[in-house]
């Protein structure tokens, strides 16, 4: 099961908001980045999750 499918199943409202953000960006925003933005908009206490998603991977 992909992360996108899992997100749609567990957080449909956040996923719907993210989908609308992606559509409005005309291809300039990935679903992953839009999902994190939507999640923080709907649940401000999860800002640490958004920041974690933008940290470059360690080698």
The pLDDT value recorded for residue 50 is 66
pTM exceeding 0.85: no
Domain chopping of the chain, boundaries: 3-53
Helix 31-42 to helix 3-10 angle, to the nearest 10 degrees? Answer: 20
Give 8's contacts (C-beta < 8 A, 6+ positions apart): 15
Q: What is the pLDDT along the chain (59 residues), one digit of tens a residue?
A: 787 888 889 889 999 999 999 999 988 999 988 988 898 899 888 777 767 666 666 76
The pLDDT value recorded for residue 54 is 61
Residue 12 phi, psi (nearest 5): -65, -35
How many Cβ atoms are within 10 Å of 35's Cβ, its own excluded? Answer: 25
Residue 38, H or E segment: helix 31-42
Q: Which two tokens stand for residue 36?
A: 């994190």
């Amino acid at each position: 099961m992909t992360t996108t499918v899992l997100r749609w199943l567990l957080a449909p409202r956040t996923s719907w908001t993210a989908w609308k953000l992606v559509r409005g960006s005309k291809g300039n925003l990935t679903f992953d980045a839009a999902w994190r933005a939507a999640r923080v908009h709907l649940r401000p206490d999860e800002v640490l999750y958004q920041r974690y998603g933008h940290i470059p991977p360690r080698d």
